[in-house]
Amino acid sequence: MVLYAGAIFLGAFLLFLVQPIIAKQILPWFGGSAAVWATCMVFFQMTLLIGYAYADLTTRKLAPRRQIILHVTLLVLSLLVLPIVSDTAWKPVGDENPSWRILGLLALTIGLPYFLLSTTSPLLQAWFARRFHHAIPYRLFALSNLASLLALLAYPVMIEPWISTVTQSVAWSIFYGLFVLLCGYAAIASARSDATVAVPEQIAATSEPPPSFGRQLTWLVLAGMATFLLLAVTNHVTQNVASLPFLWILPLSLYLATFIFCFDHPRWYRRNVFLLLAAIVLPLMAWYSDSLDLKLVIPMYLAGLFVCCMFCHGELSQLKPAPKYLTTYYLMISLGGAIGGLLVGLVAPYVLTGYFELAIGLVACALLLLYRTFRMAWWTMLASAAVVGATAWGAGKAIDYQVSDSRVMMRNFYSVIRTREYSEPVPYRSMVNGGIMHGGQLLDPELRLRPSSYFGPNSGFGRLFASLPDAPRKVGVIGLGAGAIAAYARKGDTFRFYEINPQVVDLAKREFTFLTESPARNEVVLGDGRLSLERETSQQFDVLAMDAFSGDSIPMHLLTRQAMAIYVRHLKPGGVLAFQATNRFVNIAPVAASLAAEHGMTAVLISDSPENEEGPGYWISSTDQILVTANRALLDSEKIRGAATVIAAPPGFRVWTDDFNNLLRVLK
């Protein structure tokens, strides 16, 4: 037991530890989008499926000794791809499809090791059951999920804040080598056992017939439903806070915890309790799915995800077959998980026009609840039908909220973008990215080039442009949005926008006139702003503005030492960096101040709250912006001096790098 448990524990620990490690490596290359994690999850689920299929096929079709020889050979070959460091040749250079690029990168970087780790739990359980006929292996599945959960919980607390990404990759590779030795020894020990001479059908003596197609389909649907909700909830959280492993890990940890409870012992899943809880949380989650009160919504969704996964995995555990059919059982679980991941990670961004998958998943889970209570008392079935109706009503309301007030709605890998119109008191059109406005324009022909949204006259941007010299100015902007910053453009100026999302460029040109009516020369560079600047010669910007948001999420890869070095290279002497810092959950001020101090620059915060003043309309937004410069005269100018507050990094604050950031320290 110790040998098999040890190999399964280490394999599962490494299997889930590598997920945030590799995802964090590539996150800056693809715009810091929350969709990066969803695409990574598709790869993890698909590879897990292939691993479980391999375990099932080789257990049923190969003689035990041949199976073990094959597996040991693959284990040795997998050492050739170590260490797991992503090749920079995979960085995007333009408008390539990021989904396929991410999948290809992951396949070549961690494909074979991840595949072999994914085979470990079902394969070693089969070897264990074959060697010890009296033993029930399903608790080893709970142990596997416990190891996975420990890896995920250790990462944001014990690993990410203290250890660089490169060191993480090297350390993981060393422990993977140890895993190869341990798993190889377990395989050889199984081959030497007299019990392994038996054919696979001797895994367990049982008269239980093979599972029917309907039963296997139920396994698949229950597993797929849990994964679908996991990714849909994760998208909701990361779109509105930040796309960081810390926030990816919370829902995934709850998902794994339900596997542990449900497969450790039947006492953990009380069917009547969790059916009742699911009936309560499903309508609540649907009713609040359009809310931006994340302090309420996020705890509610995490609790709801736990309850729904307990329901799915609890029902799944009650349907588990005899050990003889365990590899088929795990294969169907993995297939369901892969389908759920594909639907959210690859299908939804290209088929749905909005973030509708969460609402769809909640209704589907309510229908599954009705199906699982079909043969229970009539009042239980009636209550389940009422839950379906209430959940469908709330989900429909949430979808209608996104659609009804949208003039245009588009979606791709990066985000959902919409335009909205307001008619009174002044006609106004805004661009909405996720749930956050990303610029807008007054529609009156005489007011179209008037500063609006979070670029108002008293904002950091407004005060900055009012304080710049009259000479022609060159301005770089990472994040196009509606192009509203071009309201400050004058004849002779050059505004150069860097935008990763081609749909944003399309909407900015079709729905707004800043780019076409501005007196300045406007240029748009398609691709990730940081990577584009990295490839370009110095642009000698007077102002370089960081305004790249997806929902309420700030791309943290734009706030690192390496990114700052790129920005400074593109600034004129005395030039200004302007960071859009408006955010409800992440305080980037100390991060910007620490970066400024390294380059002998000063960081100041300018806040604007027009709703507390008379005059501005709803087209002016409350905002916080940070200006970073070594230009003392500019900071002492009349417009800036009285409104700016100098920011100093807290004592001992560690500068963020591409290998290190500590989100916990800057949460509001």
Look at residue 243 and tell me whether its pLDDT is greater than 60.
Answer: no
Look at residue 168 and tell me whether its pLDDT is greater than 70.
Answer: yes
The confidence band for 216, taking pLDDT boundaries of 50, 70 and 90, is very high
Torsion of CA 610, 614, 619, 621, to 10 degrees: 10
Among 72-86, 160-174, 466-480, the least confident range: 160-174
**Dist. CA 91–CA 105, nearest whole Å:** 9
Q: In terms of DSSP H, where are the helices of 373-525? A: 378-404, 460-467, 502-511, 514-517
Q: What average pLDDT does this structure show over 643-666?
A: 84
**Dist. CA 249–CA 152, nearest whole Å:** 6
Bigger pLDDT: 19 vs 548: 19
| Strands 494-499, 521-526: pairing kind | parallel
Cβ neighbours of 280 (radius 10 Å): 12
CA 167 to chain CA centroid, Å, is 23
Q: Look at residues 364, 358, 334, 412 and name the one whose alpha carbon lies nearest to residue 119.
A: 334
Q: Return the sign of the alpha-carbon dihedral for residues 664, 580, 611, 442.
A: negative
H or E element, residue 42: helix 34-61
Q: What is the DSSP string of 473-507?
A: -EEEEE--TT-GGGGG--TT-EEEEEES-HHHHHH
Q: What is the pLDDT of residue 551?
A: 47
Look at residue 514 and tell me whether its pLDDT is greater than 90.
Answer: yes
Look at residue 387 and tell me whether its pLDDT is greater than 80.
Answer: yes
Cβ neighbours of 500 (radius 10 Å): 30
Look at residue 522 and tell me whether its pLDDT is greater than 60.
Answer: yes
Bigger pLDDT: 541 vs 122: 541
Q: What is the DSSP string of 263-327?
A: HH-GGG--HHHHHHHHHHHHHHHHHTTT---HHHHHHHHHHHHHHHHHHHHHHHHHT---GGGHH
User: For all residues of the chain together, what is the average pLDDT?
Assistant: 84
The CA-atom distances, in angstroms, between 597 and each of 131, 277, 559, 582, 643 are 63, 52, 13, 22, 21
**Dist. CA 558–CA 373, nearest whole Å:** 50
Q: Look at residues 268, 270, 316, 304 and name the one whose alpha carbon lies nearest to residue 387.
A: 304
Q: What average pLDDT does this structure show over 36-62?
A: 84
Q: Looking at residue 95, what DSSP letter applies?
A: S
Q: What is the pLDDT of residue 267?
A: 82
At residue 442, what are phi and psi to the nearest 5 degrees?
A: -70, 140
**Dist. CA 312–CA 185, nearest whole Å:** 35
Q: What average pLDDT does this structure show over 478-500?
A: 93
Question: In this predicted model, what pLDDT tens digit does every residue of 347-364 receive, in sequence order?
Answer: 888 888 888 899 999 999
The confidence band for 204, taking pLDDT boundaries of 50, 70 and 90, is very low
Contact 579, 546 (CB under 8 A): yes
**Dist. CA 126–CA 121, nearest whole Å:** 9
The confidence band for 126, taking pLDDT boundaries of 50, 70 and 90, is confident
Q: What is the pLDDT of residue 162?
A: 77
**Dist. CA 485–CA 477, nearest whole Å:** 9
Residue type, 499: E
Look at residue 525 and tell me whether its pLDDT is greater than 60.
Answer: yes
Q: What is the pLDDT of residue 210?
A: 84
The CA-atom distances, in angstroms, between 593 and each of 62, 113, 164, 478, 579 are 62, 41, 21, 19, 11
Q: What is the pLDDT of residue 651?
A: 87
pTM: 0.75
H or E element, residue 110: helix 98-131
Q: Report the share of the chain in percent with pLDDT over 90.
A: 35
The single residue listed with the structure tokens 């290359």 is 29
H or E element, residue 605: strand 602-608
Among 73-87, 458-472, 553-567, the least confident range: 553-567
Which of 24-38, 319-333, 416-430, 512-526 holds the top average pLDDT?
Answer: 512-526
Contact 380, 425 (CB under 8 A): no
Domains belonging to the chain, first-starting first, are 1-204 (1.20.1250), 211-404 (1.20.1250), 447-666 (3.40.50.150)
Q: What is the pLDDT of residue 312?
A: 95
Q: What average pLDDT does this structure show over 257-279?
A: 87
Q: What is the pLDDT of residue 142?
A: 74
Q: What is the pLDDT of residue 57?
A: 87
Q: What is the pLDDT of residue 292?
A: 61
The confidence band for 612, taking pLDDT boundaries of 50, 70 and 90, is very low
**Dist. CA 201–CA 132, nearest whole Å:** 14
The confidence band for 658, taking pLDDT boundaries of 50, 70 and 90, is confident
SS3 511: helix
Question: In this predicted model, what pLDDT tens digit does every residue of 388-418 receive, in sequence order?
Answer: 999 999 989 888 877 877 888 888 877 788 8
